[in-house]
Amino acid sequence: MLKRIGALAVTGAVTAAIVAATLGGTASARNNAVAAASINCKKTVTIGVAYPQTGPVATLGANQWNWAKTAMKAWNKNKKNKPKIALLQGDTQLAGTTPQALQVAHQFASNSKIVAVTGPAGSQEMQDTASVWKSASLAPVSGSETRVALTRGTTGTPRETTKGYFFRTVPNDGQQGDNVAAYIHNTLKKNKVEIIDDEEAYSTGLSAQVQADLLKVNAHVTTNHVSQQDTDFSSVIDSIPSGTQVIYIPWQNATQAQQFYTQLHAHGGKEILFGSDGTDVPGTFTGNGSYVSGFPVDFSSTAVKSFAASHGGDPETFGIPSYTSVIVNATAIKTACKAGKGKTTRNAIRKDVPKVQLTTAQSLLGFPVKFLAKNAGKWQGPGDMGGTAAFGIYQIQANGSYKRVG
């Protein structure tokens, strides 16, 4: 009897292994075939946009999608730009887990219409989907992933994406963390800081770096945590040590930051709130006197002004790097199509992404875009933007507008 059970178990395991290998091999082979397939540049080509269409940070996702559409319209409007582009949405949800992002990656990878990718939105999503993109010869260009390790390994931590298969149109957390710590210590001249992370990788990484930077200059730092589902911060506010001058909240959800600000004031708190790029959402995080380190934005640009005018005065700044990402992808497609004389492949487009250079006027970021080919400075690596790319520090004014102060 035992023998029979053993034989059955072995047969089952072998069958499962064969099925898994076959399915995996089939998916991989299909991706390879799609990657090598010829793309007709005379037709409209499609860029996949992976972003949180639903879920707790869908508001940020809406900013990204709105700006991606703006980029598509701007590109298609210019008669010199060929081929014309279309966008296809993929909902990654960005809810702390990544199965949805993986599903989107597989859908995009196997869809021969998709020739380039804007997004995904979260660093963890990119890390967990990197192998899928690579197998499909797609190099996502993200407008919001800021984790350093995506482009540059640090001691004891390997680079999380393969060189040449990931680019971003935002500066990274290394640059952001240094900026924030320096601003708190040198400009605000504050030394008692409470750092509260929201328990996901982006926030804990940024918190750790700012904490380390502040400890180096002998600041007094205390820490606490909230979750992305929290709406009542009473107990966390109650436990903030007396004498705290600045509360740093590098969270992904700007509404949570605004709720925290409101509840802090309702509890009589007078500390300065300091948010990160995740809370850099004018119109949502409007706490008077608070600060955010935000994505660089050229507020003087006509495109930004016109976008804000048509969106109730809200420039939805979180989405601007996604605009830049679509333009980077479209430019790479145009270059590859030209080189291939009307025909190209995903692989050719991918290889052209790092060669893309945008002017300040084209990028809307306030500086030109040019990708690094090797490590630079303390934090940047291949796939990051070089040159003057940096985070801005904004102070929130009484009317809710953001004024750049650093």
Partner 1 sequence: MHLLLFNIYDQVRSLGWNGAFTLLRDGVVLGSLYSLVALGYTMVYGILKLLNFAHGDVFMVGAFIGFGVLAQLGGPLAPALGLVPLLLVMFAVAMLGSGILGVVIERFAYRPLRNAPRIAPLISALGVVFFLESSVQLITNSTHSEYSTFPVFGPLFTPMFSVAGNPVTVVQVLIVLTAIGLMAALMFLVYRTKLGKAMRATSFDREAASMMGIDTDRVISATFFIGSVLAGAAGVMYGLYLSDTYFFVGFLYGLKAFTAAVVGGIGSIPGAMLGGVLVGVVESFAGGYAGGQWKDIVVFGILILFLLVRPTGLLGSHAIQKV
Cis preceding-peptide flag for 241 (omega within 30 of 0) = no
Alpha-helix residue ranges (DSSP H) falling in 183-250: 201-216, 234-238
Length of the chain in terms of residues written: 406
Name, in order, each residue with C-beta under 8 angstroms of 20's C-beta and a sequence gap of 6 or more: none
Of 44 and 54, nearer to partner 1 (C-beta) is: 54
314, burial (CB in 10 Å: exposed 0-12, middle 13-18, buried 19+):
middle
Instruction: Return the residues of window 47-76 that contact partner 1 according to CB under 8 A.
Output: 54-56, 58-59, 61-62
Rounded to a whole number of angstroms, the minimum distance from the CB of residue 226 to partner 1 is 4
Query: Counting contacts by CB under 8 A, is residue 310 touching partner 1?
Result: no
Name, in order, each residue with C-beta under 8 angstroms of 120's C-beta and a sequence gap of 6 or more: 50, 51, 92, 94, 101, 104, 105, 126, 129, 140, 142, 145
Q: Which of 259, 357, 360, 401 binds partner 1 (CB under 8 A)?
A: 259
Residue 275 and residue 285 in contact, taking contact as beta carbons nearer than 8 Å: yes
Instruction: Specify the long-range contacts of residues 265-269, CB closer than 8 Å, at least 24 apart.
Output: 267/234, 267/237, 267/238, 269/237, 269/240
Of 69 and 351, nearer to partner 1 (C-beta) is: 69
User: How far apart are alpha carbons 281 and 39 in whole angstroms?
Assistant: 38
Of 226 and 337, nearer to partner 1 (C-beta) is: 226
Query: Binding residues for partner 1, how many (CB under 8 A)?
Result: 34
Closest CA to 35 of 114, 118, 117: 114
Query: Counting contacts by CB under 8 A, is residue 392 touching partner 1?
Result: no
DSSP reduced 3-state for 195: strand
Of 92 and 362, nearer to partner 1 (C-beta) is: 92
Site string for partner 1, 266-305 (x = CB under 8 A): xxx---------------x---------------------
Of 161 and 286, nearer to partner 1 (C-beta) is: 286
Largest separation between any pair of C-alpha atoms in the chain: 80
Rounded to a whole number of angstroms, the minimum distance from the CB of residue 162 to partner 1 is 33
Rounded to a whole number of angstroms, the minimum distance from the CB of residue 104 to partner 1 is 18
Query: Counting contacts by CB under 8 A, is residue 199 touching partner 1?
Result: yes
Site string for partner 1, 214-243 (x = CB under 8 A): ----------xxxx-xxxxxxxx-xx-x--
Rounded to a whole number of angstroms, the minimum distance from the CB of residue 242 to partner 1 is 9
Instruction: Return the residues of window 149-188 that contact partner 1 according to CB under 8 A.
Output: none
Binding site for partner 1 (CB under 8 A): 54-56, 58-59, 61-62, 196, 199, 224-227, 229-236, 238-239, 241, 255, 258-259, 262-263, 265-268, 284
